[in-house]
Structure 1
Amino acid sequence: MQRSIRRVWLMLPCLLSSLFFIGLPLASCSNNVSPTTGSTESMTLKVGQVANEISFFPMYVALRQNFYKAQGLTLDPSTPIMMGSGAKLTTAVEADSVEIGVGSVTNVFTISRVDAYIKMIGAVTNDYLLDIAVSKQFEAQTHLSASSSLADKIQGLRGKKIAISAPGSATDALLTYLFKQQGLDAQKEVVKVNMGANTPAILAALKAGRIDAGVLSPPGGQIAALGSYGDAFISPVRGDIPAMQHQLFTVAYVKQKVIDAKPKAIAAFIRALAQAEDYIQNHPEQMPGMMASYLKADQKTGNLAWSAVKTSMPMSPLINQQSYDASDQFHVKAGLIAVSLDYKNLVATDTMKNALSATASSS
């Protein structure tokens, strides 16, 4: 309802003006987008994502298997721009320097506060693919381990230095949620160290003792355990937080005006993502090797990574309401949004369905 009222107010000046200037086309009031009828649509898109982390793996598969090219789409530049944090990505999307953003649902909820026309156009990964890893020194001092109760783990993290990617990011959201469930305020209870979406840097800081813990993508905690300097302390995807399982996590999102201006290019992007997700499901034997290549890691790490996240890879880019609602409720309970955000307002369901029902150019 709030979004509908907001749209009416946004359109009102244009509608009033048309009463006085009969020749003024109402199409110019549609989110400042020029109609594409009679013009040649560009099949080039600027795509940005937070980082080369595990939750963006389908994007890598689409690029490596040439699925964008197969759909007649060109990325400019030829690989997605790495922004380093969700905050930087949302800023780039809002400034129109990036047309498609690939980041967490948290990013989309944040940008939707200032842009009523933001839309999700594809699920990239499910489950909350972030863990809290701690140092062995922390475990020794607190007498806690991965098998301790969740309440005891949160109490043990009070007063500690914890790395996050950036304020307002998905990494920050996880801390906010967990502490709030224990009646605590993470802003007051821990020292947050902003390190960007950089798992190797966080692990290096953990190993050196510069931080006590870090919120990072899997298999960061498992790598720390292999090196005998840390552990995956709290892991949503492992089932440590039942209420957080099966929720939508990483998505592709755009402004409505991009969908309006480049419908064929957006459809091609969605189909390329669908091809990547289908390829992942149908070639599981190739995924550990591709994961190792993607993370620029050894095969053991690739095996760990694939084992940790294989159940989080979507069957399709279509965003179902159940996974969306689970994510929405997580953000409400964490106090990150005041009220639930309507699925119909934020998810471009018709855009996704139309793209996937069309005959792919590669068939």
Structure 2
Amino acid sequence: MELRKRERMMPFSPRSLLSLLACLLLVGLSFVSCGATSPANSMALKVGQSAATVTYFPTYVAIQQGFFKAQGLTLDPPNPILLGNDAKVEAALESNNIDLATGTITAAFTVARVDGTIKLVGAMTNGYTIDIIVSQRFVQQTHLTEASPLEEKVKALVDKKIGDAGNSGTTEALIVYLFKMYGFDAQRDATLVNVGGTTAAGLAALANGSVDVLSFPAPAGPEAEVRGIGSIFISPVRGDIPAMVDQSYGVLFLKQSVIDAKPKAVQAFIRALAQAQEWIRRNPKRAKELLGKYLKLDQKNMDAVASLAMPSMAATPQISRQAFNTANEFHVKAGLLAVGPHYEDLVDSTLIHRALSGQASSS
């Protein structure tokens, strides 16, 4: 576990860019035995993502329900490559070791800083699926609940030990953003702790008192409540932070060169994603069961996670300007961007529309 006062976040600082360059080398070496990216087959794509989390559930649905196959698309390998964190996803994309990334919009913004050819071509989730989770001791000491005013809740985080996922800029960014809202500095006014990137590690740190608070993605929050370890204190997806409601989060992004080389494959992926999103809407009970299988949850955790996460699933791959701009504003205020990118520069809405115009229905 890494415990330290973090350096102030700079807009994609030299440190973060150097980290990306280092990952480029490491990921490139790890793929040496795999050869180049997906084979010459123009209807095959190699897909990478950081981990199996709620954010990427629609991709899992598309695989399980055979929607990629129905669109004539082959994934190579058959499941997305789990690379561990956003930085490694960015590096794999830049090294041409994957064709398409299913990742956070934070990762897309980051890699777009060093590669002007990056395009966003699909929405998976429109909700910031990171929660602020507090220990039972914290609740007893503060007498605050999820219904307390946001300002009171944020002020209660001051001087606390706050755990995050370390390699995920999204978990720290939420803390930075909340502190800035009320005139605080997360690096100065709290102790940020890297507890590791897994739910088990985060919940263990909360349970043993190593941290008072967690900033962690689902399913950590619902699992903490089911196990009696802690409570979800602030949840963007739940609507606790009005300025963060309905913002782009999980997205598809890739290089323009892949779009040029495999336009039909990319459009097939978008159509399959749309079929998965429609299936999730039409089959809530079956979707919940599939989510439990995907995240390896028991019944209680499955119900809790589904209740919190399902509303964040995007209804369509089309990335709305409003959702993009909301995400943009968050990244600027959280210190991740100095100036936000323009919608037209990153989002290929024409390609998405072209893909969806030939979409087959699902049932």
What's the TM-score once normalised by structure 1's chain length?
Answer: 0.84
SS for the counterpart of 1:193 is strand
Q: Which residue in the other structure is 1:206 paired with? A: 206
Q: Which residue in the other structure is 2:322 paired with? A: 322
Amino acid at match of 1:92: A
Amino acid at match of 2:179: F
Q: Which residue in the other structure is 1:146 paired with? A: 146
SS for the counterpart of 1:297 is coil
In the alignment, does 2:178 pair up with 1:178?
A: yes
Aligned-CA RMSD value: 2.0
Q: Which residue in the other structure is 2:124 paired with? A: 124
Q: Which residue in the other structure is 1:157 paired with? A: 157
Amino acid at match of 1:323: A
Matches within 5 A, 1:180-199: 180-199=180-199
SS for the counterpart of 1:330 is helix
1:196 Cα deviation after fit: 4.6
Amino acid at match of 1:190: A
Q: Which residue in the other structure is 2:42 paired with? A: 42
CA distance 1:197–1:350, shift in 2 (3 Å) = farther
SS for the counterpart of 2:249 is strand
Q: Which residue in the other structure is 1:166 paired with? A: 166
1:208 Cα deviation after fit: 2.1
Q: Which residue in the other structure is 1:280 paired with? A: 280
Amino acid at match of 1:137: R
Query: For structure 1, which segment, 83-92 or 56-65, has the greater mean C-alpha deviation from structure 2 after superposition?
Result: 83-92
CA distance 1:168–1:308, shift in 2 (3 Å) = closer
1:174 Cα deviation after fit: 0.9
Conservation of the 8 A alpha-carbon contact between 2:62 and 2:273: yes
Percent identity of paired positions between Structure 1 and Structure 2: 47
Q: Deviation per CA, 1:174-201, whole angstroms, max 9, x where unpaired?
A: 1111111122222223333334542232
Provide the rounded CA distance (Å) in 1 between the counterparts of 2:343 and 2:125.
Answer: 18
Provide the rounded CA distance (Å) in 2 between the counterparts of 1:276 and 1:196.
Answer: 31
Provide the rounded CA distance (Å) in 2 between the counterparts of 1:224 and 1:362.
Answer: 36
Q: Deviation per CA, 1:24-43, whole angstroms, max 9, x where unpaired?
A: xxxxxxxxxxxxxxxx7522
Tell me which structure has the larger Cα radius of gyration: 1
Conservation of the 8 A alpha-carbon contact between 1:107 and 1:170: no
Q: Which residue in the other structure is 1:71 paired with? A: 71
**Structure 1 runs (4+) greater than 6 angstroms displaced:** none
Q: Which residue in the other structure is 1:261 paired with? A: 261
Q: Which runs of 5+ in 2 are unaligned?
A: 1-39
Query: For structure 1, which segment, 112-121 or 154-163, has the greater mean C-alpha deviation from structure 2 after superposition?
Result: 154-163
Provide the rounded CA distance (Å) in 2 between the counterparts of 1:99 and 1:274.
Answer: 19
CA distance 1:68–1:194, shift in 2 (3 Å) = farther
Q: Deviation per CA, 1:72-109, whole angstroms, max 9, x where unpaired?
A: 21212211111222122112212222221111111111
Query: For structure 1, which segment, 196-205 or 93-102, has the greater mean C-alpha deviation from structure 2 after superposition?
Result: 196-205
Provide the rounded CA distance (Å) in 2 between the counterparts of 1:196 and 1:65.
Answer: 33
Q: Which residue in the other structure is 1:37 paired with? A: none
Q: Which residue in the other structure is 2:334 paired with? A: 334
